[in-house]
Each structure stands twice: as structure tokens, then as C-alpha cells.
């Protein structure tokens, strides 16, 4: 049996907003569409920025990449704000369970002191890399006019802040929430020879002006080597050396990276496929940054899972870049 | 590691989880990493003095915001499913939403973009993080407002192309130029303009009137958005106050700069709020309070207390505050008169108040309404009844700064239009007031750039020389559907049919011709 509630049905006079209908036709639109397309100001700006007299507000020439329509870049996850926070709330719930479990059983506090020092030296300093990624993505979000592209980057910026906070909490678990572990770890970031190429790389990224160059180097190239190295290879190495519990605390990062590949791949495919000129420019940026990132990660690889592991990852990145028509030195590795 | 150390308190812990992730760079120069921090002349001697205005780590942010979104979207769904638009007080109310979606929602988006940028600009990581959180909140508001009004757009006219109109329509250059002004300024001025002047001093006069209007007029979708955004707004206001105190405490040389910004942004905000004033007094079928009452409570009382508090930093109340306080008796009537006359060029309908509404206005504005405005409105009603609905077919003189037509009157003479003009590099510029004229004189090189809609129409930059072509082709206002008088409009007729009434006989489409 089914029951049927009578409702007063009303015929709408239109299905969606005009700017959505012009792209997709006048039919019921998704929440993602109504939240993401053509919301930003596009023309008739009143004043030029005091901080950049070369460009206007929402100026598409803030990158040298040219797109007929930046809205060709979309999010395969269809994240608008509500969908984004809903998804992350679930992820953080799982992370909270793991952190709670570790905390309750003092799993990190019971690790041998040498292992604690290793974690503070080799894993926790990545919180500073995350803050750099946070800043870079916030810049991109502020520079990109098209909302489909821009929102990807503000979500990414906030994610990186969150990941930096998870890494910091690992140190707080080791030091009994005194902050001493974080101080020690920051000392490695500032002075330990192992981190200096990486710190230089991050600082170099912070002065990059072209926002597409920045998203490429940060979200595709740097993450493309760093995340698999740290959260797969180093994670495995830590497990083999008696710190397998740490894996629980970095599960968020593994899930997150896997998910982020969906939009970075989609974005790269569209932008590289747009024109030969785009492809050539992307290639020049890959040529410039990929070797620098590889070199910056080498000391961490040497101290942990070995350079071979990094080379494996480099080859994987090369294969991924090949799909966009790009080449990197990883092919020969 | 020995764990018998003293545990961090909440404040220090939050600092470890935010600003402590930053470091003193040594491979790149600090001024190259943060190139926009110094050109405004603001001196920051010690960023570590920054007090985090709220302590919200990302995990908590995701959790709270997701809970709020879940509840909000459940209401949106229920509203659409049950055709909630049929339960509002009267279809005239929807015109307030048209003004909101085309005038305010695009500002939420501009705020998102502005905060994302300043969320990168400051070398103080605590301030950056607070700004980024506001950035993503503003994106939320921009998007949820689209979703809240999506259902209305399916059943009423004039909501269909808000962002397009925001870039073009004459009166929308008022809010747009306001935010363009803030976004093109340096990061400290941006925060003084938006976080302090706009969010902290004036939010109760912008955001709250629309949301209370929704509550009083049965608009469940919009008022639920309002409640859901309330805790975001509280955070933004806290940031606004912290920003101003921090800048003022950092260096005494900052005081005159900040004072100039407060003067400027108070005045720009006050002018922008003319649109809200007329919305409250004229567009809400069920009225919340009069504009004059709102101004008294939220500016004169609350603002008064705030500026008393800021006195110890050497800050005085904004210049021309006395003119703004006096104008509370006039601006809404002057603004509505103007929109009534130009109702052929707006994306919402206009109308003359009914008898009981005129009485309400007389009562709320005992010193001004009967004396200066009521007779004009009764005359226009009579003209309309006799088939001569009044439209003004000449284009008005706009103020070079606030971009509102120069419709306002002198403080001590409400029958005298307030008008100022100056010559700058051989060209003459016009202003609505000393407030706007002063703003121009401080930064003429900025305000000469203004994209003034009337000038642009006359210069032929808006797809045509005649108003009708501009309105339909350039603005995307559907003539005869979105614009003109409310009585007899398709919205009005649809509403009567929802309520099971016959269309009013006196309301003929025949009288809708502006020419």
C-alpha cells in the first residue's frame, strides 16, 4: 500500500537564475551550480587596486594562463560550502576518534624517547609547510575571478590549516600539551640542515605572483611528491621502526590527498588541454619547480625511507603529468 | 619526553595551533613575502600583541558549520516543498528580497574575495587566519543566499539575474562602488572599512533589518538563513573590534590614519544605508521599526557607546555624524521618492504607501513626514488613480563618490537640495554632500575613476542611447515584468491568484508605460 498526500502544486515561472540558464538551459539547477557560477563581479569596476596598479579587480590577467572561460574548470566533488563542510565534518569525526584513542592510551607518550624525537624532527615540522600551503591557497582564492576555481582554493587553504593543526596535535600528545615539543620541532624547521632546502622552497613559493603557477607548484607538484612520500613511504618506515600508531593520526591526510587528486587532476586536464600556449607555459613551470621540489625532499627521504622511495614517487608524478601532456625528470628515474 | 610540564592554557594552545606555525623567513625578505603591509603608512611594531578575536580550530569549525548547514538546508527543502512563498505577508515584500539579492548578496561575494586576499597579506599569522575564516564564511553567505532565494526566483520576477545587474544597474553601483573602494584599498583600510565600520558599527543597520523584515513577513527561508548566519556575524564583529584596537594600540602615528578611514567609511556606509532605510519604511508590508528608530538604537546609542570607548585611543566620533543623525528623519522618504520616479529602471516594483502606511509614517516621523513628504505622496497616488502614474524620464545627476543621485537635502533646510562641486585638473565633479566631497578631496586620483552609470549611458557605453534599450538589453530587466508600478504587475496578479482574489480592476497594464 502507498499513501498519497495531496499537495498544492504550483507551476514555476522559471526554473533557475538567468546566469545559470544561459549556461545550462532553463531547467532545475543543482545546488552546486547555483552556488558556483558567475557570482563574481566581471565588469565596470570603479577603481584600480592601490596594491596592484597593473591589474584591475577580478582581473583574469593575474595569471599568464589564458582560458576562454575559466568556468570550464569545475569540481568533480561538486563542493559548495555546505557540501564541503559536511564532508570535512565526517572526516574530522573519524580523526577525532583516532586522536581520542591515542590520547586515552597515551600511545605517543609511551614511545621511546628516540622515536619521539624522530617524530618531532621528521614529521611535525611539516606543519610549517602546511601553513605555507594555507597562505598560497588563500592568495589564489583571492586572485581568481571564477568561483568554481576560487572556491576550490579557499577550501584547500582551510584544509591545510586543519592539517597543520593535526600535525601540531601530534607534538602536543608527545609533550603532554606543554608546547615544548612544538618548540623543539620548530627549531628543526628553522636550523636543521635536513629542513633548510624545504624551508627555502616554501619561502620561494611565497613570493610567486602568478596564481596558476602557484597552484601548480603547490597543489600539484609539491603535494604530488610530498604527500605520497610522507604519508605513504615515511609512514611505512615509521611503522617498521615501532611507531605504527602514528598512522592512525595521519589517516586524515591520506584520505584528504586522495580526494584532492580528483580536483587537481580535473583542473590540470582542462587547463593544459585548452591550448598549446598553456601547455608550453605549464611545461616551463614544471621544468622550473619539479626538480627543486625533488631536491628539497631528498634529505627527508634519505633520513627515512630512502631516496629510491622518493624516486618511485617521482616516477608516479611523471606518469600523472604525462596524462596532461606534460613531462618531468621523473620519467628517467 | 617528560610530560610533567605545565599544560598550555586555551589561549596559548590556540596560538600554537595557528600563529606558531608561522616563522621568521630567512631565504626571502619579509617585505617581499608581505609586500602590501606597509604602503598605507600603518605601523605595526609587534604582531604578537594581536589578540585572537575567537578561538576556533578547523576541526571545530567544520563540525559546527556542518551542523548549521544541515539544519538550514532542511528548512530550505521544506520551504520549497511546501511552497512557502505563498505564506508571506504580501507579495510586495518580495521586492525587498530583489533589492537584497542584487544589492547585498554580491557584496558577500566581494567580501569573500577581499578577505581571502587580506588573509594572505598580513605578516601576522593570527590576523591572517581570522581573515581567512571570515573569507570562507562570506562565501557561505553568498552561496546560501542564492539557495534561500532560489525558490522565490521561480515564482516572482526581478530576482533572475542579480550578479549581472550588480555590475550594471544605476542604483547598484552604490553598493558595488562601496565594496570596490574597500577592495582596492590596502589591507588595513579594507579591515577598517569592512570589519570595523561595516560589520561592527553598521551590521545591525544592514543585515539585521533585512532578516528581521523576513521574520515579520513570514519569509521562513530568509530568516532561517539570518539565524544561521548570526554566529558567523558575531565572529566577524569581534574581529572588527579587535582590528581597530590592535592598529590603534600599535603606534600613535596610526591614529590620524584610522580616524580618516573611520570618517570616510562611516559616511560611505551611511549613504549606502539609505537603500536599507527605504526598504524598512516602504517595502516591508509588516514593518519592524522605522528607519529613524533603528538609527537611534543601533547608531546613536550603540555607536555612541563604542566611540566613547575608543576615545582613550584619541579617536573621536565620525565627522559629519550630526548630519547623519539629523538625516534619519528624511533619507528613507527621499530615497523612496526617487525609486518611485525611476521605477521603470529598477528590477523591483515601486508603489505609493496605502492610507494606513501613510499614517504610520506620519506617526513615526512627526516632525518631517506630514510637513515635507505626505502631500507629494498623496499627489502621486491621485495621479496614478487617474491614469497618470508618474515616472521621471530624465536621468539624475549622480554623486561622484557615493553614486546616489544628488537627492538629499541640507541639514538645516529640508527644502534645499544638498549639492557640492569642485574643479579638479580642469574637470568639474559633483557631490551630494560635504562628506562625499571630502572623501574625493583626500583621494581624487581614485574617485575620478568611478564608473558612473548615468555618464556611461550618455556616453553610449551601455548598449544603447535610450533608457528602454539600456534597461532591457544592458540591464536584463524584463520590461513590463520586473519593473514599473507594483499594482497591476505580473507579481501582483500572481499574488492575487494565489490568494484566490480577482485582479484589481483599476490596475491596468495600460498605465504602465513610462514614456
pLDDT digits (tens, 9 = 90+) for B409-447: 999 999 999 999 999 999 999 999 999 999 999 999 999
- Per-residue model confidence (pLDDT) at position B108: 97
Cβ–Cβ contact B329 with A under 8 A: no
Chain A with chain B: Cβ pairs closer than 8 A: 282
**pLDDT higher than threshold 90 for residue B510:** no
Q: State the nearest Cα–Cα gap between A119 and chain B, in angstroms.
A: 12
**pLDDT higher than threshold 90 for residue A165:** yes
- Per-residue model confidence (pLDDT) at position B19: 97
- Per-residue model confidence (pLDDT) at position B507: 46
CA dist A159 and A260 (Å) reads 10
pLDDT digits (tens, 9 = 90+) for B172-184: 999 999 999 999 9
The third-level CATH classification (topology) of the domain covering A77-332 is Ribonucleotide Reductase, subunit A (1.10.620)
pLDDT digits (tens, 9 = 90+) for B238-283: 999 999 999 999 999 999 999 999 999 999 999 999 999 999 999 9
**pLDDT higher than threshold 60 for residue A250:** yes
Q: Say which residues have a Cβ less than 8 Å from residue B61's Cβ, sequence separation at least 6.
A: A85, A158, B133
* Interchain contact, B16 vs A168, CB within 8 Å: yes
pLDDT digits (tens, 9 = 90+) for B105-115: 999 999 999 99
Q: Show the cell assigned to B167.
A: 555590475
Question: Taking all residues of chain B, what is their mean pLDDT, rounded to a whole number?
Answer: 95
- Per-residue model confidence (pLDDT) at position A300: 98
Question: Taking all residues of chain A, what is their mean pLDDT, rounded to a whole number?
Answer: 96
Mean pLDDT of A318-327: 97
- Per-residue model confidence (pLDDT) at position A331: 58
Q: State the nearest Cα–Cα gap between B365 and chain A, in angstroms.
A: 36
Instruction: Give me the DSSP letters along B357-411.
Output: HHHHHHHHSTTTIIIIIHHHHHHHHHHHHTT------SPPPBPTTT-SBS--EET
pLDDT digits (tens, 9 = 90+) for A177-199: 999 999 999 999 999 999 999 99
Among all residues of chain B, which has the CA nearest to that of A165? B17
Whether B275 contacts B175, CB under 8 Å: yes
* Interchain contact, A19 vs B164, CB within 8 Å: yes
Q: State the nearest Cα–Cα gap between A94 and chain B, in angstroms.
A: 11
- Look at residues B291, B283, B348 and name the one whose alpha carbon lies nearest to residue B101: B348
DSSP assignment, residue B509?
G
Cβ–Cβ contact B36 with A under 8 A: yes
Residues of B numbered 253-292 whose beta carbons fall under 8 angstroms of chain A's beta carbons: which are they?
A: none
Among all residues of chain A, which has the CA nearest to that of B140? A81
CA dist A269 and B192 (Å) reads 41
Among all residues of chain B, which has the CA nearest to that of A22? B161
* Interchain contact, B57 vs A38, CB within 8 Å: no
Q: State the nearest Cα–Cα gap between B184 and chain A, in angstroms.
A: 4
CA dist B80 and B407 (Å) reads 40
Q: State the nearest Cα–Cα gap between B347 and chain A, in angstroms.
A: 13
Instruction: Give me the DSSP letters along A41-108.
Output: --S---S--TT-TTS-TT-GGGSS---S-GGG---TT---HHHHHHHHHHHHHHHHHHHHHHHHTTTT
CA dist B309 and B199 (Å) reads 17
Whether B269 contacts B278, CB under 8 Å: no
Among all residues of chain A, which has the CA nearest to that of B117? A142
Among all residues of chain A, which has the CA nearest to that of B490? A13
- Per-residue model confidence (pLDDT) at position B4: 58
B509 — pLDDT class (breaks 50, 70, 90)? very low
B3 — pLDDT class (breaks 50, 70, 90)? low
- Per-residue model confidence (pLDDT) at position A330: 78
pLDDT digits (tens, 9 = 90+) for B12-26: 999 999 999 999 999
Q: Show the cell assigned to B30.
A: 619579509
Residues of B numbered 109-168 whose beta carbons fall under 8 angstroms of chain A's beta carbons: which are they?
A: 109-110, 112-114, 116-121, 125, 128-129, 132-133, 135-136, 139-140, 142-144, 146-147, 150, 153-157, 159-164, 166-168
Among all residues of chain B, which has the CA nearest to that of A209? B33
- Per-residue model confidence (pLDDT) at position B203: 84
* Interchain contact, B147 vs A31, CB within 8 Å: yes
HSE-CB for A256 with a 13 A CA cutoff: 28
DSSP assignment, residue B350?
B
3-state secondary structure B141-157: HHHHHHHHHHHHHHHCC
Other Cβ atoms less than 10 A from the Cβ of B203: the count is 16
- Per-residue model confidence (pLDDT) at position B502: 74
* Interchain contact, B20 vs A58, CB within 8 Å: no
Q: Are strands B413-417 and B420-424 parallel, antiparallel or unpaired?
A: unpaired
Superfamily of domain B60-152+164-501: Ribonucleotide Reductase, subunit A (1.10.620.20)
Nearest CB to A178: which of B8, B140, B160?
B8
Interface test with A, best of B71, B80, B119, B135 (most A CBs within 10 A): B119
A2 — pLDDT class (breaks 50, 70, 90)? confident
* Interchain contact, B3 vs A138, CB within 8 Å: no
**pLDDT higher than threshold 90 for residue B286:** yes
- Per-residue model confidence (pLDDT) at position B214: 96
* Interchain contact, B451 vs A164, CB within 8 Å: no
Residues of B numbered 5-24 whose beta carbons fall under 8 angstroms of chain A's beta carbons: which are they?
A: 5-8, 12-13, 16-18, 20-24
- Per-residue model confidence (pLDDT) at position B241: 95
- Per-residue model confidence (pLDDT) at position B508: 44
Residue B313 burial class via C-beta count within 10 angstroms: exposed 0-12, middle 13-18, buried 19 and up: middle
Geometric angle at alpha carbon B465, from B464 and B466, rounded to 5°: 100
**pLDDT higher than threshold 90 for residue B514:** no
Cβ–Cβ contact B28 with A under 8 A: yes
pLDDT digits (tens, 9 = 90+) for B123-146: 999 999 999 999 999 999 999 999
* Interchain contact, B69 vs A82, CB within 8 Å: yes
pLDDT digits (tens, 9 = 90+) for B472-481: 999 999 999 9
pLDDT digits (tens, 9 = 90+) for A203-222: 999 999 999 999 999 999 99
- Look at residues B463, B396, B466 and name the one whose alpha carbon lies nearest to residue B171: B396
Mean pLDDT of B32-43: 97
Q: State the nearest Cα–Cα gap between B61 and chain A, in angstroms.
A: 8
* Interchain contact, A19 vs B161, CB within 8 Å: yes
- Per-residue model confidence (pLDDT) at position B504: 58
Which residues in chain B are contacts of A169 at CB distance < 8 A? Answer: 17
Helix, strand or coil, per DSSP, at residue B464: coil
Which residues in chain A are contacts of B446 at CB distance < 8 A? Answer: 47, 50
* Interchain contact, A41 vs B162, CB within 8 Å: no
pTM: 0.97
Which residues in chain B are contacts of A89 at CB distance < 8 A? Answer: 62-63, 65-67
* Interchain contact, B119 vs A92, CB within 8 Å: no
- Per-residue model confidence (pLDDT) at position B469: 95
Cα Rg of chain A (Å, integer): 22
Q: Show the cell assigned to B415.
A: 527644502
pLDDT digits (tens, 9 = 90+) for A251-271: 999 999 999 999 999 999 999
Q: State the nearest Cα–Cα gap between B473 and chain A, in angstroms.
A: 13
* Interchain contact, B62 vs A82, CB within 8 Å: no
- Per-residue model confidence (pLDDT) at position A218: 98
- Neighbouring-strand partners of residue B350: B485
CA dist B312 and B237 (Å) reads 20
- Per-residue model confidence (pLDDT) at position B2: 59
**pLDDT higher than threshold 50 for residue B387:** yes
**pLDDT higher than threshold 70 for residue B511:** no
CA dist A303 and A125 (Å) reads 14
**pLDDT higher than threshold 60 for residue B457:** yes
Among all residues of chain B, which has the CA nearest to that of A131? B21
A285 — pLDDT class (breaks 50, 70, 90)? very high
Which residues in chain A are contacts of B498 at CB distance < 8 A? Answer: 10
- Per-residue model confidence (pLDDT) at position B501: 86
Q: State the nearest Cα–Cα gap between A284 and chain B, in angstroms.
A: 22
Amino acid at each position: 500500500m502507498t499513501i498519497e498526500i495531496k499537495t498544492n502544486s504550483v507551476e514555476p515561472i522559471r526554473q533557475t537564475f538567468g546566469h545559470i540558464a544561459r549556461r545550462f538551459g532553463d531547467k532545475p539547477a543543482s545546488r552546486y551550480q547555483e552556488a558556483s557560477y558567475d557570482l563574481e563581479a566581471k565588469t565596470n569596476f570603479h577603481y584600480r587596486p592601490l596594491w596592484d596598479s597593473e591589474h584591475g579587480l577580478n582581473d583574469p590577467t593575474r595569471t599568464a594562463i589564458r582560458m576562454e572561460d575559466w568556468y570550464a574548470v569545475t569540481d568533480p566533488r561538486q563542493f559548495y560550502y555546505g557540501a564541503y563542510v559536511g564532508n570535512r565534518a565526517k572526516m574530522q569525526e573519524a580523526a577525532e576518534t583516532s586522536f581520542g584513542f591515542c590520547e586515552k592510551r597515551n600511545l605517543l607518550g609511551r614511545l621511546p624517547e628516540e622515536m619521539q624525537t624522530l617524530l618531532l624532527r621528521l614529521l611535525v615540522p611539516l606543519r610549517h609547510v602546511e601553513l605555507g600551503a594555507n597562505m598560497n591557497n588563500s592568495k589564489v582564492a583571492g586572485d581568481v575571478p571564477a568561483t568554481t576555481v576560487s572556491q576550490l582554493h579557499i577550501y584547500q587553504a582551510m584544509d591545510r590549516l586543519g592539517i597543520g593543526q593535526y600535525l601540531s596535535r601530534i607534538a602536543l600528545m608527545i609533550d603532554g600539551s606543554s608546547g615544548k615539543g612544538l618548540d623543539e620541532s620548530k627549531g628543526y624547521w628553522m636550523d636543521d640542515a635536513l629542513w633548510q632546502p624545504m624551508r627555502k622552497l616554501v619561502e620561494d613559493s611565497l613570493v610567486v605572483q602568478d596564481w596558476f603557477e602557484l597552484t601548480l607548484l603547490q597543489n600539484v607538484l609539491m603535494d604530488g611528491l610530498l604527500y605520497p612520500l610522507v604519508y605513504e613511504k615515511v609512514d611505512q618506515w615509521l611503522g617498521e621502526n615501532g611507531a605504527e600508531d602514528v598512522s592512525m593520526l595521519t589517516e586524515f591526510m591520506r584520505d584528504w590527498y586522495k580526494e584532492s587528486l580528483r580536483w587537481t587532476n580535473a583542473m590540470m586536464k582542462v587547463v593544459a588541454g585548452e591550448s598549446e600556449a598553456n601547455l608550453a607555459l605549464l611545461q616551463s613551470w614544471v621544468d622550473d619547480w619539479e626538480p627543486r621540489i625533488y631536491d628539497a625532499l631528498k634529505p627527508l627521504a634519505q633520513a627515512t625511507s630512502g631516496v629510491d622511495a622518493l624516486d618511485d614517487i617521482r616516477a608516479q608524478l611523471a606518469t600523472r603529468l604525462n596524462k596532461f601532456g606534460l613531462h618531468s625528470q621523473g620519467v628517467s628515474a | 619526553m617528560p610530560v610533567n610540564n605545565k599544560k598550555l592554557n586555551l589561549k596559548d594552545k590556540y596560538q600554537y595551533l595557528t600563529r606558531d606555525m608561522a616563522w621568521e623567513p630567512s631565504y626571502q625578505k619579509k617585505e617581499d613575502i608581505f609586500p602590501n603591509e606597509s604602503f598605507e603608512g600603518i605601523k605595526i611594531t609587534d604582531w604578537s600583541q594581536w589578540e585572537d578575536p575567537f578561538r576556533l580550530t578547523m576541526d571545530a569549525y567544520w563540525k559546527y558549520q556542518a551542523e548549521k548547514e544541515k539544519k538550514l538546508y532542511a528548512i530550505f527543502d521544506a520551504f520549497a516543498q511546501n511552497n512557502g512563498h505563498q505564506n508571506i505577508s504580501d507579495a510586495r515584500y518580495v521586492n525587498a528580497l530583489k533589492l537584497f539579492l542584487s544589492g547585498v548578496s554580491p557584496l558577500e561575494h566581494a567580501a569573500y574575495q577581499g578577505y581571502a586576499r587580506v588573509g594572505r597579506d598580513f605578516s601576522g599569522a593570527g590576523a591572517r587566519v581570522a581573515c581567512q575564516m571570515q573569507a570562507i564564511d562570506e562565501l557561505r553567505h553568498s552561496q546560501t543566499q542564492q539557495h534561500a532565494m532560489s525558490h522565490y526566483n521561480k515564482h516572482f520576477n526581478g530576482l533572475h539575474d542579480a550578479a549581472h545587474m550588480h555590475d550594471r544597474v544605476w542604483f547598484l553601483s552604490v553598493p558595488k562602488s562601496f565594496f570596490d573602494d574597500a577592495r582596492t584599498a590596502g589591507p588595513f583600510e579594507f579591515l577598517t572599512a569592512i570589519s570595523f565600520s561595516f560589520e561592527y558599527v553598521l551590521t545591525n543597520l544592514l543585515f539585521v533589518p533585512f532578516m528581521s523584515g523576513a521574520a515579520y513577513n513570514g519569509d521562513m527561508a530568509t530568516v532561517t538563513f539570518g539565524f544561521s548566519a548570526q554566529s558567523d556575524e558575531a565572529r566577524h564583529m569581534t574581529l572588527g573590534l579587535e582590528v581597530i584596537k590592535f592598529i590603534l594600540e600599535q603606534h600613535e602615528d596610526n591614529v590620524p590614519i584610522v580616524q580618516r578611514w573611520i570618517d570616510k567609511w562611516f559616511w560611505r556606509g551611511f549613504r549606502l544605508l539609505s537603500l536599507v532605510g527605504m526598504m524598512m519604511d516602504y517595502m516591508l508590508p509588516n514593518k519592524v521599526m522605522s528607519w529613524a528608530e533603528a538609527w537611534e538604537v543601533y547608531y546613536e546609542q550603540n555607536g555612541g557607546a563604542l566611540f566613547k570607548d575608543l576615545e582613550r585611543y584619541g579617536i573621536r566620533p565620525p565627522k559629519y555624524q550630526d548630519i547623519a543623525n539629523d538625516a534619519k528623519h528624511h533619507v528613507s522618504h527621499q530615497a523612496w521618492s526617487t525609486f518611485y520616479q525611476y521605477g521603470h529602471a529598477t528590477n523591483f516594483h515601486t508603489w505609493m504607501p496605502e492610507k494606513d502606511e501613510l499614517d504610520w509614517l506620519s506617526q513615526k516621523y512627526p516632525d518631517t513626514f506630514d510637513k515635507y513628504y505626505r502631500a507629494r505622496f498623496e499627489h502621486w497616488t491621485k495621479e496614478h488613480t487617474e491614469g497618470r502614474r508618474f515616472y521621471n524620464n530624465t536621468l539624475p545627476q549622480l554623486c561622484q563618490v557615493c553614486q546616489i543621485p544628488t537627492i538629499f537635502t541640507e541639514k538645516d533646510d529640508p527644502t534645499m537640495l544638498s549639492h557640492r562641486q569642485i574643479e579638479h585638473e580642469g574637470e568639474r565633479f559633483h557631490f551630494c554632500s560635504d562628506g562625499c566631497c571630502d572623501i574625493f578631496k583626500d583621494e581624487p586620483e581614485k574617485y575620478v575613476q568611478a564608473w558612473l552609470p548615468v555618464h556611461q549611458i550618455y556616453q553610449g557605453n551601455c548598449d544603447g542611447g535610450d533608457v528602454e534599450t539600456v534597461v532591457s538589453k544592458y540591464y536584463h530587466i524584463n520590461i513590463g515584468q520586473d519593473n514599473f508600478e507594483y499594482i497591476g504587475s505580473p507579481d501582483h496578479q500572481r499574488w492575487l491568484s494565489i490568494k484566490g482574489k480577482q485582479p484589481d480592476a483599476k490596475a491596468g497594464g495600460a498605465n504602465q508605460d513610462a514614456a
